Amino acid sequence: MMKILPSYAVVDSLKQHADQASAATIQSYQAETGRTERMATTAAGLTLDFSRHLISEQGLNELIKLAEQAGVEAKRTAMFAGEKINKSEGRAVLHTALRHMGDRLVMVDGEDVMPAVRDTLSRISSLCDTVHAGQWTGWSGKPVKHIVNIGIGGSYLGIKTALDGLRPYQRKDLQAHYVVNVDPADLAKTLAVIDPETTLFIICSKSFTTMETRVNAEAAKAWMLEQGMPEADSARHFIAVSNNIAKATAFGIAEENILPLWDWVGGRYSLWSAIGVMIPLMTSFAIFKRLLIGAFEMDEHFQNAPLEDNMPVIMGLLGIWYSNFFEAQSHAVLSYASDLDAFPGHLQQMDMESNGKRVTADGQPVDWQTGPVIWGGVGTNGQHAYHQLLHQGTRLIPVDIVAALESHNPVAEHQDWLFAHALAQAQALAYGCQEDQIRAEMAEKGASQAEIDMLAPQKVIPGNKPVSLLIMDKLEPETLGALIALYEHKVFVQGAIWELNSYDQFGVELGKVLGDQIFEQLTADSAVNEADAGLNQWLQRYRQKHHRA
């Protein structure tokens, strides 16, 4: 049998609390005096209401001890100080430096990284000025109208999330496009709608070795040449963001058109770096700055707030409570703000690539559960789809409901309905609707006893489904920045308690190696005979389809 968690002293006591909680209800905990005030915290424009959780106040106090005993505070200090906490790759983890607004030095290997960060920000700012002034022109002298980001994973998901979250701030004179997948359909759909003379491609890849991005970038360049772009003018249409300047130059990007990032920025934490250059290009540099400021405010809160009021710490601990003590397999993030529609996708990479691990940072196999499956979508859409399972399914799925008090689009009563439903879901999940009440209501409406006996059990919503409400005044650049940073730090807290290195991703490598090998087999000039029969049948079928030997 697996252990619950690493050997922290407080685990036994937490187990007792969890056993008690299993026999209790969220409703019963609401009787605790002062619970609503105690179980809420506000930071950087976000309020977390965590009163609808299956935990008593005492249980929560014990959970705080878990963070203390796991050394979360010391680990946090080490991360912000630039220590090489990504041990397997020998790297610091300093996405927080990218949004640092103070005058503190941030040292890596004896060197302050802040001048390079500020220099890159000022290059981004000048690039935006040139493009926005219509002074960045293509080969025929026309100003840029289309910006195409070619990138995948961390070089796409965060950018898309931020830019969609900033929809009200997006420029009308520029159109954003993304080419992500190696599926030729992805490139084709973009090439079908852009105008080559007014298109700027951003080849966005920290490593500049990612197959999808390389193949798409090469195809985009070939298409531009076909469309009439003189080779000598390719610098007017292609810029790059990369940590691998040599590879980007070898691809043919002029050195002055390459924006850097550094090995201490993980891909899934890189939207704050030049990787996110599409964000200010499609809005303005001032808006991008506001996004960074919001994230910085969350960084400050995470570093300075006491653990019991510390939003990322509380969210991390509650996640562990259900994953490790209640065997919850997944966690849903439901945004009651359509502009956050891409957020769950970004969170999937941020969380699952960080904490989907089976060994500790020291390489010892873990004997406890680590990161859950993260999924989600936007409300109210989900209410007409998968909320059925949340309410009446057999699995325990803790939920975060993200909502804003005010909309950027004050149309009629939409926002009133939207917020009403965000709260309604929180109430329904936590408290449900019990059988005696349903029976009484049916009887009152004149249902027969037989009807009541058959239907009442089917209508029961048991409730007791934990919900965090995460409420902001309005989805502004600052609150969006704070929201994304909040989840980054939540992931950190959980990784720290599970003793993981949240900043490497060796699990994705095997697929790349096999993909290269199988690509060779699919495309070889001479006949292929693969020993693995299961694989061989598909190699042969694919090769036949493409008339290969």
Ligand X SMILES: O=P(O)(O)OC[C@H]1O[C@H](O)[C@H](O)[C@@H](O)[C@@H]1O
Question: What are the residues binding ligand X (CB under 6 A)?
Answer: 152-155, 205-207, 210, 213, 267-268, 353, 505, 508
Distance of CA 166 to the CA centre of its chain: 16
Task: Return the number of the residue (221 or 268) whose C-beta is nearest ligand X.
Answer: 268
Cis peptide before 380 (omega within 30 of 0): yes
Contacts of 83 (CB under 8 A, 6+ apart): 92
Minimal distance, residue 258 CB to ligand X, in Å: 14
Beta strand 258-260 with 111-112 is: unpaired
Kindly tell me the sign of the dihedral angle through the C-alpha atoms of 400, 354, 215, 248.
positive
Task: Return the number of the residue (151 or 312) whose C-beta is nearest ligand X.
Answer: 151
Task: Return the number of the residue (210 or 284) whose C-beta is nearest ligand X.
Answer: 210
Minimal distance, residue 157 CB to ligand X, in Å: 8
Minimal distance, residue 145 CB to ligand X, in Å: 26
Minimal distance, residue 410 CB to ligand X, in Å: 37
Task: Return the number of the residue (63 or 352) whose C-beta is nearest ligand X.
Answer: 352
Distance of CA 452 to the CA centre of its chain: 45
Q: Give CA–CA dist 187/181, Å, rounded.
A: 8
Task: Return the number of the residue (152 or 220) whose C-beta is nearest ligand X.
Answer: 152
Kindly tell me the sign of the dihedral angle through the C-alpha atoms of 97, 101, 106, 112.
positive
Minimal distance, residue 155 CB to ligand X, in Å: 4
Minimal distance, residue 494 CB to ligand X, in Å: 18
Positions marked active-site = 353, 384, 512
Query: In sequence order, what DSSP letters do the residues of 65-93 get, joined into one string?
Result: HHHHHTTHHHHHHHHHTT---BGGGTB--
Residue with the two structure tokens 């249409």: 237
Task: Return the number of the residue (59 or 153) whose C-beta is nearest ligand X.
Answer: 153
Minimal distance, residue 210 CB to ligand X, in Å: 3
Minimal distance, residue 351 CB to ligand X, in Å: 12
Q: Are 14 and 66 in contact (CB under 8 A)?
A: yes
40, β-bridge pairs? 49
Q: What are the structure tokens assigned to 223, written together?
A: 């298409």
Q: Which of 475, 460, 450 minimizes the C-alpha distance to 428?
A: 460
Annotate 449-469 with b (16+ C-beta within 10 A) or e (fewer).
eeebeeebeeebbebbbbbbb
Task: Return the number of the residue (154 or 345) whose C-beta is nearest ligand X.
Answer: 154
Task: Return the number of the residue (353 or 478) whose C-beta is nearest ligand X.
Answer: 353
Q: Give CA–CA dist 166/475, Å, rounded.
A: 8
**If DSSP states are collapsed to H, E and C, what string results for 485-547?**
HHHHHHHHHHHHHCCCCCCCCHHHHHHHHHHHHHHHHHHCCCCCCCCCHHHHHHHHHHHHHCC
What Rg value do the Cα atoms of the chain yield, rounded? Answer: 26
